[in-house]
Amino acid sequence: MFVLVNLKAYPCDPVAVAEAAHAVAEEHGVRIAVAPQTAHLDRVAATGVETWAQHVAPLDHGSHTGHTLAEALTDAGAVGTLCNHSERRLKLADIDSALDAADRAGLETVVCANNPEQVAAAAALGPDAVAVEPPALIGGDVSVATADPGIVEEAVAAAAAVDPDVAVYCGAGVSTGDDLTAAADLGAEGVLLASGVAKADDPRAALENLVSGV
């Protein structure tokens, strides 16, 4: 199982979370990545943890003030990027262009989607993975795998019907080892989570709990 921790804009210490994630990943042999704010990418990458961006601009080099170029993410140490997160939605054409930009820079990609229908559309664009996240459950205490297991199973089937090479992750409310196990049992190959780690008093303990389910 891949554990992708999105720090969003939470007021946590990105380096402390990254160091904890790196240590837990090494200790337990689990793939864990951290997606900090763009301005923190290089400091997070310096910890040795697998580092992801939260968003990539659907653009090439040029006159694009205030946008984050895929190559700049790679230069800062990112090896992958989220795309179309529920809190950073894109139009379909822009998702396609963002994936082109990520490919150009050699970034792995996860396209987020609200439901199985969007998962199918996203999978058709050829990302490395899609992540199904019901918006109503994001930031909550109940995992998507418990609150709505059907949406995860349907997302897995929807992606497989379009492109079996596209991995399916799930997210929203994931915070414990039991949540991770439940997600895996539903066919997810990874989880996308945020508050369970970024808002934890002890992020390392939260990560240890999470990977106890692997």
Ligand X SMILES: O=C[C@H](O)COP(=O)(O)O
* Burial degree of 193 (CB within 10 A; 0-12, 13-18, 19+): buried
**Dist. CA 7–CA 36, nearest whole Å:** 5
**Dist. CA 71–CA 125, nearest whole Å:** 20
Nearest residue to ligand X on Cβ basis:
195
Residue from 19, 133, 153, 179 touching ligand X (CB under 6 A): that is 133
Nearest distance, CB of residue 81 and ligand X, angstroms: 12
- Residues numbered 165 to 204 that lie near ligand X (CB under 6 A) are 171-174, 192-196
Number of residues that bind ligand X (CB under 6 A): 15
* Residues 199 and 150: beta-carbon distance below 8 Å: no
**Distance from the first to the final alpha carbon of the chain:** 7
Q: Is 85 a catalytic residue?
A: yes
Task: Provide the phi-psi class of 126: left if phi over 0, else alpha when psi is between -120 and 50, else beta.
Answer: left
Q: For residues 104 and 149, which CB has a smaller minimum distance to ligand X in the complex?
A: 149
Q: For residues 62 and 148, which CB has a smaller minimum distance to ligand X in the complex?
A: 148
- Residues numbered 56 to 95 that lie near ligand X (CB under 6 A) are 85-86
Nearest distance, CB of residue 25 and ligand X, angstroms: 18
Query: Exposure string (b/e) for 30-43, b if CB count within 10 Å is 16 or more?
Result: bebbbbbebebbee
Q: Is 133 a catalytic residue?
A: yes
The answer to the question of residue 138 lying near ligand X (CB under 6 A) is yes
Question: Applying CB under 6 A, which residues contact ligand X?
Answer: 6, 85-86, 133, 138-139, 171-174, 192-196
Residues acting as catalytic residues: 85, 133
